Structures are given as structure tokens and as C-alpha cells.
Structure 1
Amino acid sequence: MKSNISKSIFFILILVALSGFVSSPIALLLGFIFTFIFSNPFLKETQKTIQILLKVAVVGLGFGMFIKETLETSKEGLSLTFYSIVLTVTLGIFLTKLLKLDRKLGHLITSGTSICGGSAIAAISPVIKADGKTISLALGVVFLLNSIALLIFPAIGHFFNLTQDQFGLWAAIAIHDTSSVVGAALSYGDEALRIATTVKLSRTLWIIPLSIFSMFLFKSKGQKIKIPYFIGLFILAILINSYNVLPTVITSNIVDISKRLLVVTLFLVGSTISIIDLKQTGFKPIVLALSLWIFISIFSLVYITY
């Protein structure tokens, strides 16, 4: 009986998130509160759905962008992206040794923090031959900080009077996972959303050189590198919009639906966060992740504002 009730409430909350009347942070909180009370009845399915919905939504956002502006934005964020990744990975390797943390767990947390959260962890884990438990711990820690970032970053942005451009760039660099980056930027404004999405996706491509670096670092051979192919569809959507292939009314509706799907995605992300799993993680992985996050947040904010 309780199982049927929890499933019904779960689907009702998805519809609420899809309605457009719920903000990104609220959707995330609803997911977390739901799991705290009932536990997620479709945990494995939810984790798969998050990846699919996020990619679909991001591609959909491309129908609201223009190629010239996108290239300019990517160029503006290139130097900051490079410096932040190199410094964060270097600091992560050092802190992993200092904390005497499992080397693979430390590297996955560092990878997720420096580039794009769950996507980076998923791409790097087979390269370094990480086991399931290590991957789950890394994902749990990174998703926890993602959730906090989604809730507090917009408030910090307003406190420092960041412009839409500044906040979009900061969110893309300092927040790990694409879903939380887009969620935070969505609540800040449309221009912030455009910049955050563009810079974050161009940042995602750094998974490739990081995977190659990881192969040498862990002396792995014959491992395949996962390339985020959906970025190509995102670029295609931008080109379609830039050259007016589709009527404006259609592209506008696609963007609106994509924003709603992102809110649903954040509800699903919240529903996968387990307090029990986080307790089992221990304090060292959280200390590592928190230290790297604070570093990259302050470094990128100072870089952007000064």
C-alpha cells in the first residue's frame, strides 16, 4: 500500500515540476524531501532517465541560441576553463595524497569537480578501472555539492551584483554537474542560462584530454574514451536556429519545453540523494570535494570580477 502511495506521489511531483510553476531549487528540494520520507521507488530507472532528459533538454536549449554569440562566449571562457581545470586537477592530486585517500576515489572526485560532475566521473571511471563502490561514493559526494551550489549560487551572485554574463560564466566554471549549472543559471536569467550552457558544454569536451592524462597517471592501456556526442546535436540545434530553418514559434516552444524538462531533471537528481549513502562515505572524500569546490569557486569569481 505504502509502495503504491509513494509511486503515485512520485509521478504527481514530476507533473508539478513539468508544469512550469516550480523553480529549479524547489524541484531539487522536493526530490530530496520525497526520498527522505519515502525513498525513491525507481532508483535505477531514475538514474538512467536523468542522463537522457539532461541531454535532450540541453540540445533543446540550443534552439534558443545563435552561432556567432555562442562562439564569442566559448572564446571568452576558454582561458578561465583551462586555468581552472589544470589548477583543480593539480590540487586534487596533492590533497588526495595529503588526506591519504584512496587514489582512484580521489581522482574521480577531482575529475567531477574540475570538469562536469557525473559525466566526467562516468567517463573517467572505466579509464582508471574504478569499481562500482568507488564510482557511487564519488557521485554521491559530487551530487551533494551540486545540490548545495544550485541553492546558494544565485543568492551569492545577487550579493556580489554579478551581471548575467558574469554569473553565467561563474556557474559554468564553479558548479560541477551540467544539470545544476543550468538550474542555477535558469533561476538567474535567460542571458546567464545561455552563457552557462555554452561554456559548460565547451568545458565538457575537456573530458577527452583528462581521460588521456588519466590513462598515463594510472598506467591504463586499451581503455576506450567516452566522447560526449550529444554536444554535436547541441551545435546542430544552434545552427538550425541561427539560419532560421524552423519558424520562431517552434523554436521558442522547444526552448520552453527544454527548461521544464530541466526542472524535472533536477527533481529526479534530488530524489537520488540518500543521507544513508552520504554517511557511509566518510569525511575525507567530502573534505577533498569541499576544498576543491571552494578553491574553484573563489578562483573563478576573482578571475571574472577582477
Structure 2
Amino acid sequence: MNKTKIAKIAFPIAALLCFFPFVSSAAALVLGVVLAVALGNPYVDKTRTYTHHLLSLSVIGLGAGMDLMVVGRVGLQGIGYTVVGISFTLLLGMLIGRMLKIERDTSTLITVGTAICGGSAIAAVAPTIRAKSHEVSVALGTVFMLNACALVIFPWIGHLLNLTQTQFGLWSALAIHDTSSVVGSTLQYGPESLQVGTTVKLARALWIVPVTFLIGLFYFRGQKVEGGAGKAKKPWFILGFLIAAALVTWIPELRPVGHVVETVAKRALVVTLFLIGANLTKETLKSVGIKPFLQGVGLWIVVASCTLGAILIGWIH
């Protein structure tokens, strides 16, 4: 039996196993990466599509276990440091990109992905700047690799520094690229961490709209439309998350059902992390050059370190 046949059997079985409680979020991600690199992903087009849809449905499901009043309070508290953090990251990222002489579009996409919410921000901004397909691939590949690292490294650092669940949730939301990896890391750390991290990250994701508009307003417009990345995706799942939270908050009778939906959503997120790992193919790894990767890593380390420092001294709480 060749690798392709083995992979066609192994991937569905592994995805099913990830739905069970004995598989952690980190283990699911690593399993996806190992299978993709060792055997190749024969379903890569499907897993990329399923990843987006399953993540959206899972985040909506998490809303069914949250109090809308808490969600609103946490979201409003974060406006100040969100504006400062996004502005700082955008400026620093473009500066690093110029220093390393990286293609402007690629540098912009990596920077925006770091500043707001990873792949979602990249998908929204790419059509605005008319980025070419290979530039989008490089940016997404860089972000995917750093997301995988964050899922393993962040909980370890959190426990090493004895961060509270609130502190860890804040740090994850502000320093990890994608919503899925924020949820994955905070899910390991504790329920309060999950609630804070998810809420702050989704509130931050709303900034895709004004940031994309401003980039489109001031960005160089001389590029050709051919080879662009296509239509921007709108993060409608944020609205679904808020509606689900509103229903269980204002209709107490729905709370028992809401907890069941939340439990299923948490396991669906673990499956999502497996799919994210499965999307990290050899081709994706090869597409990321050393300079874009260095920009992504350097920017991420500075942002994560500064954010952690601000949380520890009480500037962000």
C-alpha cells in the first residue's frame, strides 16, 4: 500500500479521533502536521475549506456558553490597548520589512496578520492591495507555522511565569495570530482563560474592517488587478458568537442546552486544529522564504514580549 492510500485512510480516522476528549488541542495540531509532512495530505483542498467553516461554527458554539454582559465588558475594556497595539505592530512590521528588503505586499500581509487576526486579516487585506497569489501563500504559510509554535509554547510559558487565567487569556488574544490557536492555547489553560481570550480576540478581529479600509485608502494603487487574491471574506462568525451569547444570557432556560453546545464546540475546535496542522504541507513550508519568515518571527517576538511585559506590570488588565 503506497503513501497516498495510507493517507486517504489515516486522515479521516485521525480527524475522528480528535473529537474525543483524550486528544488535546496541541496533540491534534501536531498529529495533523506529522501526517501532512510524512504522508502528504490527499484532501488538502477539502481540509482548507472545512477548516474555515468548522472554525466559524465552533466559535459561534462557544458563544452559547458565555455571558453577553461579560463579553461586552471585556470587549470595551480592550479598546485602548487594542488601538495602541495594532498601530505599534503595523509600524514596526513595515519597518522590519523594509530593513529586510521584503516585497511590500508580502511584508504588509505578514504585518497585518500579526497585528489583528492572522489568516482572516490576510484574506481581507489581500484583495485591497491586489496582492499576488504567491505573496498571499507566503504570508499564510508564515502565520500557520507561528500559530503551530504558539499552541505549544504559550501554555508552557504561562505556567512557567504563573500567569493567572485572565492574564494568559489576554496575552494569548493579543499575541497569537489566529482565533483558532488562541482558543486552542486558552482551552488548555482553563475555562476563564478561554472566555477572556476568545472575547478579546473576537473584539480585536472587528478591527479588520477599519484597518482594511485605511490600507486601501493610503496604499500604493499602481498594481495590476491580475493575479490578485480574490474577494475579501467577512468575519460573520463574530456576529453569530454574539447572538449565541445573547440568547443564553437573556433566555435562562436555554443555558443547559448552551453548555452542551459549548462542549461540542470545544471538541470541534480540536478537530479544527488537526485540520490546520494537516494544511501545513511540504509545499506550504517550501513557499515561505527565509526573509519573510524572519520578519514574522521577529515581529511576533517583539509583540508577544511587549504585550506580556505590559500585562505583568499592570498596564493591560
TM-score range, shorter chain: over 0.9
The aligned residue for residue 42 of structure 1 is 43
Could you list the per-position Cα deviations for residues 214-264 of structure 1 after superposition, in whole angstroms to 9, with x for gaps in the alignment?
Answer: 112324499976532221111100100101255333111100100000000
Q: Give the residue type in structure 2 aligned to 1:288.
A: Q
SS at match of 1:64: coil
Matched letter for residue 113 of structure 2: G
Q: Is the 8 A contact 1:208 1:225 kept in 2?
A: no
What is the aligned partner in structure 1 of residue 173 from structure 2?
Answer: 172
The AA in structure 1 aligned to 2:296 is A
Structure 2: distance between partners of 1:296 and 1:24:
24
User: Structure 1 CA distance, aligned partners of 2:201 and 2:265?
Assistant: 17
Quick check: 1:27 aligned with 2:28?
yes
Is 1:267 the counterpart of 2:268? The answer is no
Is 1:279 the equivalent of 2:286? yes
The alpha-carbon distance between structure 1 residues 270 and 225, as it changes in their structure 2 partners (threshold 3 A), is closer
1:14 and 2:15 are equivalent in the alignment = yes
Q: Is contact 1:73-1:195 (8 Å) kept?
A: yes
Q: CA deviation at 1:140?
A: 0.3
CA distance in 1 between partners of 2:65 and 2:13 (Å): 29
Q: Is the 8 A contact 1:30 1:267 kept in 2?
A: yes
Q: Is the 8 A contact 1:80 1:300 kept in 2?
A: no
Q: Secondary structure at the match of 1:20?
A: coil
Q: Residue 161 of structure 1 aligns with which residue?
A: 162
Map of 1:174-213 to 2, 5 A cutoff?
Answer: 174-213=175-214
The equivalent of 2:262 in structure 1 is 255
Q: Does 1:78 align with 2:49?
A: no
Give TM-score scaled by structure 1 length: 0.96
**Is the contact between residue 73 and residue 199 of structure 1 (CA under 8 Å) also seen in structure 2?**
yes
Give, in angstroms, the shift of residue 96 of structure 1: 1.2
Tell me how far 1:83 sits from its aligned partner. Answer: 1.3
Spell out, residue by residue over 1:56-115, the C-alpha distance to the aligned partner (whole angstroms, 9 max, x if none): 000000011111111111122222211111000001111111111000000000010110
* Aligned position for 2:297: 290
Matches within 5 A, 1:87-106: 87-106=88-107
- Give the total of aligned pairs: 306
Q: Which runs of 5 or more residues in structure 2 are unaligned?
A: none
> What residue is the counterpart of 1:114 in the other structure?
115
8 A contact 2:120–2:233 mirrored in 1: no
Q: Distance in 2 between matches of 1:224 and 1:61?
A: 27
**SS of residue in 1 equivalent to 2:101:** coil
2:299 and 2:103 mapped to 1: Cα distance? 16
Paired residue for 1:238? 245
Q: 1:279 to 1:5 in 2, by over 3 A?
A: closer
Q: 1: CA distance between counterparts of 2:11 and 2:123?
A: 26
Structure-2 separation of matches of 1:14 and 1:293: 30
Q: Does 1:229 align with 2:230?
A: no
Paired with 1:287 and 1:52, the residues of 2 have a C-alpha distance of 30
Specify the code of the residue in structure 1 equivalent to 2:34.
I
Please give the alpha-carbon distance, in whole angstroms, between the structure 2 residues aligned to 1:275 and 1:74.
Answer: 38
Q: Is the 8 A contact 2:65 2:255 kept in 1?
A: no
* In structure 2, distance between residues paired with 1:152 and 1:18: 23
Q: Which range is displaced more, 219-228 or 76-85?
A: 219-228
The alpha carbon displacement at 1:295 in A equals 1.1
Query: 1:130-169 counterparts in 2 under 5 A?
Result: 130-169=131-170
Report the secondary structure of 1:247's partner residue.
helix
SS of residue in 2 equivalent to 1:18: coil
Instruction: For 1:244 and 1:82, locate their aligned partners in 2 and report how far apart those are by CA, in whole Å.
Output: 34
Q: 1:148 to 1:163 in 2, by over 3 A?
A: same
TM-score w.r.t. the length of structure 2 is 0.93
Determine if contact 1:240/1:246 at 8 Å carries over to the other structure. Answer: no
Q: Report the aligned-residue RMSD.
A: 1.7
- The Cα offsets for residues 113-142 of structure 1, whole Å up to 9 and x where unpaired, read as 110000000000000001111111100001
**Do the aligned residues in 1 keep the contact of 2:24 with 2:270 (CA within 8 Å)?**
yes
Q: Distance in 2 between matches of 1:26 and 1:245?
A: 35
Segment drifting more, 223-232 vs 181-190:
223-232
**Matched letter for residue 301 of structure 2:** I
